[in-house]
Chains A and B, each alone.
Chain A
Amino acid sequence: MPGIEFLVDALTPVNLLLAVVGVAAGTIIGALPGLTATMAVAVLVPFTFGMPPASALIVLGAIYTGAIYGGAYSAILLNTPGTPSAIATTFEGYPMAKRGDGDLAITLACLASVFGGLVGALFLLGLAPPLAEVALKFGPVEYFWLAIFGLTLIGTLSEGNMLKGLIGGCAGLLLSMIGVAEVGGDIRYTMDLKMLLGGIDVVSALIGLYCIPVLIDLVATPDPHLKLGNQIAGYRLREALTISWRSKVNLIRSSFVGTIVGILPGAGGSIASLVAYSEARRTAKRQSNFGKGEPDGVLATESANNATVGGGFIPTLVLGIPGTPPDAVILGALLVQGIRTGPSLFGEQSSIVYTFIYGLIIATLLMLPMGLLIGRYAFKSIVTIPKAVLVPAVGFLTVIGSYAINNNTDDVIVMVVLGIVGWVLNRLGYSPSPIVLGVILGPIAEAGFVQGYLIGTARGSVLAEFFFRPISMAVIGFILLSLFYPYLTRQWRMYRGVASSD
């Protein structure tokens, strides 16, 4: 292992303590809807300025990885992603909790997060410089196709209700265009409201569309929020380990997906977990279980989003280009500390880098006992708290969370309005996920398309730019596979059925 001698530096009592505190703080912040990993890191950056660089990096990395994991709690227990990375965790996590398997889902999320986090960190440790090249292979056109690939997930998510899913997706795309266009600077759909100039914030859309309908339904129905399992608030660790072992291929694949997507600047945990979920669902033997609380879904999304932590550090440290939004904050902190990122960081200042990477690995491992403990506590409190307390408490958090994104009350208004609209749409059979997919992926697809078009025009052929670049062609292949796979498998089964009856 490279730089193994620095493992000792990472194991000093101070660094260990920082890792413990960082993971705990991150997990709790991440669990609160609206308080994202980026925010957790940004808030705690000033406290790291007095520390030696490696320790500062360890605590920031620990907070980051903790927050990404913590986002799963509210996704599973409240159907509200605590961070954008946990969107896809709601797909299977919440149905699991509904039927009384919330404790199992949380333990699975913990195992998957630790596994994914370790895979990402090990790639960072061993292969960072060559892997950073991947980040550079992805141009605007590749991002465009990647976003389109993400959008095909709408088809998978709205099985049996394709039209409503597509309408929702389009609504999300339109929402994402509100405000001043990133590319071109045009002002769109603001209805002359200044508060809309900045556009709809993804996180406030997320809180509104997912959380508010849940809250309204909680008040509107007399049933308890979640069913209790047989034994109250167990870890169900053995069961979770068995499931994880059975799904090892899924775990490994999802962690790879997470690492690679993490390396791509501008993609991040939300896209990683969506792609991992889509692949897990496509290749699953029991596809019909998906959407009804399939543990494999939770394993896929949670391992993928935590793998983006290590993956995201790769371009951040090697190229000085932040891989994910929290990495941008950490990069800023590094500049203030006087650390030059870049290829030389792994040579000249390798002591800092390797101490940090081992620290990140240790923090990820610490997430196992601490995550289980905090998770159990979170589950117990959400399940046992009476609704009369739970609803106002969560309602309060949604307001605080959406305000905290940009310290702006406009985001709170957007959140509430979208929440009410989301509730009405839910009643009409439109689920929030296609809308949110549109909001998140719309800007990536649009920017990629316009940039690709500009570059293609300058190079002489827009067509060649979009369709004949190797990575583009591979992604297009995945899109076609994702779109036609259900159809092809049906045809194959019919063919086989016909053949066997002959």
Chain B
Amino acid sequence: MKKTTKLITAVLGLFGGLVAALAIAAYPEKTISYIIAFGPGGESDVSARLQEPFFKKFTGQNIAIQYKPGAGGAATWSQLNGMPADGYTIVGTNIPHIVLQPLEKDVGYETADLANVYWFHYTPDAIMVPAESPYKTLKDLVAAAKKAPGTITFSGSGTNSANHLAQQRFDKLAGIKTTYVPFKGTGASNTALLGKQVTGSWGYTTVQMMLGEQARCLAVAMEKRHPKIPDCPTFKELGYDLVGGAYRGIAVPKSTPDNVKKAVSDLIGKINKDPEFIAKMEGNGFAMVDVSLAEMPKFMDQMRKLYTGLAVEMGIKKR
């Protein structure tokens, strides 16, 4: 009796393994739900929309993009691990959001709960002034800020957001004190910039691409200059060690089998290396990164250290 049970278990196990292996050999064989933790029209949405045709190109399958905004993304991320763990539900995640939110308050998930499988791009921080601004270079702006601390104002999207962190980091690096004015979303922040309600704006390279000649980019937080904004120097060139921005990636429920995680990671990686895709992303101001499943633990460790340190300094860390 015991033997038969064992046998049946073994056969079933083998069968199950086979099914999983088969399933993964053909992944994906149906439409993938791609959940965005924000509303339509933002950077997360635009990059998912740009990926969409390449899912079809490489797999023949469609993706269904859904929006589940709320609490700055936490509404989705807190529910991620309850979603089907079969590789057919993938969720967009963002850094620094997923590091900072759980440090600040109980948002229903911890950073380590999210099984990120790939980080595919980032929007580098950029500092911009209106085209007519008297500040032609970052040096001008820093000099003005040194002369009259607190009088230089920057618009940005959200409180304790990537823009806010960039402002705080730069103030510290440059030894200046500026005023950060949070707005609801990039659109409102840009309005304040173009309307000269503020001296400048902390945004992303994508914002600079969108505003074009209406704004002047003073510096970008990249290792090398952005190919589409070649006139804008990096902070590093100007002597400030500032590289970063908002990273966007894909996560799956934690209980997803490892081979399925890898299949998702590989697929996103494959799309991310397509020259046509890269051209489209860079054309919109995104900067490509490739952090696959294998490099994930190291990368997350690094990011967690960086942003936890900043959160402590800014007094965001409350738990």
Task: Report which A residues bind B (CB closer than 8 A).
Answer: 38, 42, 45-46, 49, 135-140, 179-185, 187, 194, 197-198, 265-266, 315, 319-322, 328-333, 335-336, 338, 340-344, 406-408, 410, 443, 447, 451, 454-455, 457-460
Known: A194-B106, A265-B191. A406 touches B75 (CB 8 A): yes
Q: Are B42 and A332 in contact (CB under 8 A)?
A: yes
Task: Tell me if B102 counts as interface (CB < 8 A to partner A).
Answer: no
B residues within 8 A CB of A315? 191
Residue in A38, A136, A458 whose CB lies within 8 Å of B191: A136
Task: Tell me if B27 counts as interface (CB < 8 A to partner A).
Answer: no
Q: How far is the CA of A328 from the CA of B104 in the complex (A)?
A: 29
Q: How many residues belonging to B are interface residues under a CB distance threshold of 8 Å?
A: 58
Stretch at the interface among B15-23, B46-54, B167-175, B266-274: B46-54
Residue in A181, A265, A331 whose CB lies within 8 Å of B188: A265
Q: Are A458 and B150 in contact (CB under 8 A)?
A: yes
Q: How far is the CA of A366 from the CA of B195 in the complex (A)?
A: 36
Task: Tell me if B307 counts as interface (CB < 8 A to partner A).
Answer: no
Known: A406-B70, A458-B151. A342 touches B213 (CB 8 A): yes
Q: Are A338 and B153 in contact (CB under 8 A)?
A: no
Q: How far is the CA of A414 from the CA of B187 in the complex (A)?
A: 28
B residues within 8 A CB of A183? 159, 182, 184
Closest chain-B Cβ to A200's Cβ sits at a distance in Å of 11
Contact code string B95-138 (vs A, CB < 8 Å = 1, else 0): 00000000011111000000000000000000000000000000
Q: How far is the CA of A374 from the CA of B39 in the complex (A)?
A: 30
Contact code string B159-195 (vs A, CB < 8 Å = 1, else 0): 1100000000000000000010111100110111011
Q: Are B159 and A136 in contact (CB under 8 A)?
A: no
Known: A180-B72, A335-B284. A194 touches B49 (CB 8 A): no
Contact code string B75-89 (vs A, CB < 8 Å = 1, else 0): 100100000000000
Closest to B151 in A: A458
Q: Are A454 and B195 in contact (CB under 8 A)?
A: no
Q: Are B40 and A198 in contact (CB under 8 A)?
A: no
A residues within 8 A CB of B105? 187, 197
Q: Are B198 and A455 in contact (CB under 8 A)?
A: yes
Residue in A46, A336, A342 whose CB lies within 8 Å of B50: A336
B residues within 8 A CB of A45? 40, 49
B residues within 8 A CB of A328? 39-42, 187
Q: Are B187 and A197 in contact (CB under 8 A)?
A: no
Closest chain-A Cβ to B224's Cβ sits at a distance in Å of 23
Q: How far is the CA of A140 from the CA of B189 in the complex (A)?
A: 10
A interface: dominant SS = helix
Q: Are A46 and B65 in contact (CB under 8 A)?
A: yes
A residues within 8 A CB of B52? 46, 49
Closest to B72 in A: A180
Task: Tell me if B211 counts as interface (CB < 8 A to partner A).
Answer: yes
A residues within 8 A CB of B196? 136
B residues within 8 A CB of A336? 46, 49-50
Contact code string B212-234 (vs A, CB < 8 Å = 1, else 0): 11100000000000000000000
Q: How far is the CA of A328 from the CA of B78 in the complex (A)?
A: 26
Q: Are B159 and A407 in contact (CB under 8 A)?
A: no
Interchain residue pairs A-B with the least CB separation, the first 4: A136-B195, A198-B70, A332-B41, A185-B159
Residue in A182, A329, A408 whose CB lies within 8 Å of B159: A182
Q: How far is the CA of A410 from the CA of B68 in the complex (A)?
A: 12
Q: Are A181 and B212 in contact (CB under 8 A)?
A: no
Known: A42-B40, A321-B190. A194 touches B65 (CB 8 A): no
Q: Which of A139, A179, A197, A335 has the most CB of B within 10 A?
A: A335
Q: Are B213 and A184 in contact (CB under 8 A)?
A: no
Q: How far is the CA of A320 from the CA of B181 in the complex (A)?
A: 21
A residues within 8 A CB of B60? none
Q: Are B187 and A265 in contact (CB under 8 A)?
A: yes
A sample of 27 inter-chain contacts (CB < 8 A) reads A46-B52, A136-B191, A139-B192, A179-B71, A182-B159, A194-B108, A197-B75, A198-B69, A198-B75, A322-B187, A328-B40, A329-B40, A332-B40, A332-B46, A335-B210, A336-B49, A336-B50, A340-B212, A342-B210, A342-B212, A342-B213, A406-B68, A408-B68, A455-B153, A455-B197, A457-B150, A458-B151
Closest to A179 in B: B71
Q: How far is the CA of A454 from the CA of B182 in the complex (A)?
A: 10
Q: How far is the CA of A460 from the CA of B150 in the complex (A)?
A: 10
Known: A140-B192, A406-B70, A454-B181. A329 touches B283 (CB 8 A): no
Known: A320-B211, A336-B46, A406-B68. A139 touches B197 (CB 8 A): yes
B residues within 8 A CB of A340? 209-210, 212
Q: How far is the CA of A432 from the CA of B221 in the complex (A)?
A: 49
A residues within 8 A CB of B78? 194
Residue in A182, A265, A266 whose CB lies within 8 Å of B182: A182
Q: Are A42 and B67 in contact (CB under 8 A)?
A: yes
Q: How far is the CA of A332 from the CA of B183 in the complex (A)?
A: 19
Task: Tell me if B152 counts as interface (CB < 8 A to partner A).
Answer: yes
Closest chain-B Cβ to A147's Cβ sits at a distance in Å of 13
Other than the given A179-B71, A197-B74, A319-B211, 4 more pairs (CB < 8 A) read: A135-B195, A342-B210, A342-B213, A454-B179
Closest chain-B Cβ to A311's Cβ sits at a distance in Å of 15
